[in-house]
């Protein structure tokens, strides 16, 4: 019997799948080496096709906030499967899901389910355009909103990692309607708004940015966007695909107390299944078809298996506020340990952190926007990534990603990670 390894699978994959992967960052291009092919996962551990076990800090880019193969979610999916996988007709679960989301996320009064974060942001922007009758949008450099044409302008993470900040295949017309400003730069936004008065449909922002590494909004930034949008009749869209149900039950808007007009959701909302959603004020959401003129549809939207997984996840988070205290504690322990390690080694790299998300940037400059994120030494990051992997710790394979923690991490796991962090830094820097 021939046993496949990650290496042989990747070689084969490259013959049949562009680059061997179904999403670019997975190819490990930014860190070198070949990607690991994952066979299974349980709690905080990933198991690859080569028989190795890794403690992981990505958690499927966020959704596995309770760790892998959590029994509640597993049971919800198993129970749903025997009633058929899809109907393409309304179900009770969709109503329960919508009710729960509007209860949990402060600014959402009505919500539409879709199948990915990308679909959510594309639909949200179409809605903002239909609602305002305006064409242009403002986005921020280094913010990623999925792979919709309008967003592949200064798009962060995957796009930066592969060195293609602006994608081929996006027309000039589309690019012209997308204006960009540096994250945390209110003055730049004001200047764009003044120069395009009456033409801006939406400002879309990751209210805590996680796709150029983790970058926090400076005090007053989100409040300033809110004020400007209210004054100019611009729709404020918070892309909470990453942060929703993670940084608080109700996302960044609850945690920092600034409310958008439309919110986009993904990742955790599906409990690991492909799900997204966009929602907001009734007045705006009622512009969506079939009540309003903005068309948006989906054969598998609100899929019963996906809704079952998502409902189990959200219901658990909604009824267990201690999850968020636990995530804060895990985040604080890891980040203070990392900070101490840097200090012991006489290094002054920047760590950005909020709740269960953090990034180490290999730069001594504060990281407040995409330009400062790019001062990081990405070659060094690649070495650090490989050193950690050798010690059984699986990180996001790019400097321009945040790490995502789960409640499956115990104090013992945290000690293992901190020890690996110290040894890896020592290996790549001090001894080199």
Count of other CB atoms within 10 angstroms of residue 321: 11
**Residues 403, 60, 125, 284, CA torsion sign:** negative
Under the criterion CB under 6 A, does residue 122 sit at the interface with ligand PLP? Answer: no
Q: Which of 48, 239, 261, 369 is catalytic?
A: 239
Under the criterion CB under 6 A, does residue 363 sit at the interface with ligand PLP? Answer: no
Cα-to-chain-centroid distance, residue 98? 21
Cβ closest to ligand PLP, residue 144 vs residue 361: 144
Cβ closest to ligand PLP, residue 130 vs residue 158: 158
Determine the longest span between alpha carbons in the chain, in angstroms.
68
Q: How far apart are CA 339 and CA 226, in angstroms?
A: 34
Cβ closest to ligand PLP, residue 273 vs residue 342: 273
Under the criterion CB under 6 A, does residue 263 sit at the interface with ligand PLP? Answer: no
Token digits of residue 101: 């989301």
Q: Determine whether 3 is exposed, middle or buried from the number of CB atoms within 10 Å of its CB (0-12, 13-18, 19+).
A: exposed
Least distance (Å) from ligand PLP to the CB of residue 298?
13
Token digits of residue 23: 């999403």
Under the criterion CB under 6 A, does residue 246 sit at the interface with ligand PLP? Answer: no
Least distance (Å) from ligand PLP to the CB of residue 410?
27
Under the criterion CB under 6 A, does residue 206 sit at the interface with ligand PLP? Answer: yes
Beta carbons within 8 Å of 362's beta carbon, 6+ residues apart: 349, 376, 377, 378, 380, 381, 384, 399
Closest by CA position to 106, among listed 274, 234, 259, 268: 259
Catalytic annotation on 267? Answer: yes
Q: How far apart are CA 173 and CA 169, in angstroms?
A: 11
Angle at 179 between CA 176 and CA 181, to 5 degrees: 155
Cβ closest to ligand PLP, residue 9 vs residue 275: 275
Segment near ligand PLP (CB under 6 A), from 8-16, 42-50, 138-146, 220-228? 138-146
Least distance (Å) from ligand PLP to the CB of residue 215?
12
Catalytic annotation on 239? Answer: yes
Among positions 17-46, residues that touch ligand PLP (CB under 6 A) are none
Q: Which of 136, 267, 374, 383 is catalytic?
A: 267
Going residue by residue from 52 to 81, which x/- string records binding to ligand PLP, judged by CB under 6 A? ------------------------------
Least distance (Å) from ligand PLP to the CB of residue 126?
15
- For residue 271, the 8-state DSSP code is B
- Give strand ranges (E) for 71-159: 110-114, 136-140
Q: What is the dihedral of CA 187, 188, 192, 193, to 10 degrees?
A: -30
Q: Are 262 and 131 a contacting pair, CB within 8 Å?
A: no
Q: Give the residues across from 279 on adjacent strands.
A: 111, 263
User: Which residue's C-beta sits nearest to ligand PLP?
Assistant: 117
Least distance (Å) from ligand PLP to the CB of residue 323?
20
3-state helix, strand, coil in the chain (%, to 5): 40, 15, 40
Under the criterion CB under 6 A, does residue 242 sit at the interface with ligand PLP? Answer: yes
Catalytic annotation on 282? Answer: no
Q: How far apart are CA 157 and CA 89, in angstroms?
A: 36
Under the criterion CB under 6 A, does residue 121 sit at the interface with ligand PLP? Answer: yes
Under the criterion CB under 6 A, does residue 117 sit at the interface with ligand PLP? Answer: yes
Q: Which of 45, 144, 324, 384 is catalytic?
A: 144
Cβ closest to ligand PLP, residue 152 vs residue 242: 242
- For residue 151, the 8-state DSSP code is G
Least distance (Å) from ligand PLP to the CB of residue 275?
8
Cβ closest to ligand PLP, residue 70 vs residue 145: 145
Place of tokens 């940037």: 361
Cβ closest to ligand PLP, residue 56 vs residue 239: 239
Q: Which of 161, 184, 211, 308 binds ligand PLP (CB under 6 A)?
A: 211
Q: So which residues are the catalytic ones?
A: 144, 239, 267
List of residues contacting ligand PLP (CB under 6 A): 116-118, 121, 144-146, 206, 210-211, 239, 241-242, 266, 276
């Amino acid at each position: 019997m021939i046993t496949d390894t990650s290496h042989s699978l990747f070689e084969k994959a490259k013959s049949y799948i562009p680059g061997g992967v179904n999403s670019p960052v997975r190819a490990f291009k930014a860190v070198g080496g070949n990607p690991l092919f994952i066979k299974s996962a349980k709690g905080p551990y990933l198991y690859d096709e080569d028989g190795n076990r890794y403690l992981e800090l990505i958690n499927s880019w966020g959704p596995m906030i309770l760790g892998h193969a959590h029994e509640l979610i597993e049971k919800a999916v198993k129970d749903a499967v025997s009633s058929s996988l899809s109907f393409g007709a309304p179900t009770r679960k969709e109503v329960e899901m919508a009710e729960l989301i509007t209860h949990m996320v402060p600014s959402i009064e009505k919500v539409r389910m879709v199948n990915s974060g990308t679909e959510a942001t594309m639909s949200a922007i179409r809605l903002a355009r239909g609602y305002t009758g305006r064409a242009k949008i403002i986005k921020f450099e280094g913010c990623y909103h999925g792979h919709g044409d309008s967003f592949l302008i200064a798009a962060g993470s995957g796009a930066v990692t592969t060195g293609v900040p602006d994608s081929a295949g996006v027309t000039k017309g589309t690019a012209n309607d997308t204006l960009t400003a540096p994250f945390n730069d209110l003055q730049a936004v004001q200047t764009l708004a003044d120069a395009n008065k009456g033409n801006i449909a939406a400002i879309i922002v990751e209210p805590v940015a996680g796709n150029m590494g983790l970058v926090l909004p400076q005090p007053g930034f989100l409040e300033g966007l809110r004020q400007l949008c209210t004054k100019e009749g611009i729709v404020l869209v918070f892309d909470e695909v990453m942060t929703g149900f993670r940084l608080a039950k109700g996302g960044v808007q609850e945690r920092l107390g600034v409310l958008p007009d439309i919110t986009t959701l993904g990742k955790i909302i599906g409990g690991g299944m492909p799900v997204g959603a966009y929602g907001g004020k009734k007045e705006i959401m009622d512009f969506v078809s079939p009540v309003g003129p903005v068309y948006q549809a989906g054969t598998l939207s609100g899929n019963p298996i996906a809704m079952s997984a998502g409902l189990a996840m959200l219901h658990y988070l909604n009824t267990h506020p201690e999850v968020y205290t636990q995530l804060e504690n895990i985040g604080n322990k890891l980040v203070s340990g990392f900070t101490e390690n840097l200090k012991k080694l006489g290094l002054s790299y920047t760590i950005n952190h909020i709740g269960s998300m953090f990034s180490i940037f290999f730069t001594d400059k504060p990281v407040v926007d995409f330009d400062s994120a790019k001062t990081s030494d990405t070659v060094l990051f690649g070495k650090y990534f490989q050193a950690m992997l050798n010690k059984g710790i699986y990180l996001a394979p790019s400097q321009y990603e945040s790490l995502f923690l789960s409640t499956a991490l115990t104090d013992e796991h945290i000690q293992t990670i901190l020890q690996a962090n110290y040894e890896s830094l020592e290996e790549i820097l001090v001894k080199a």
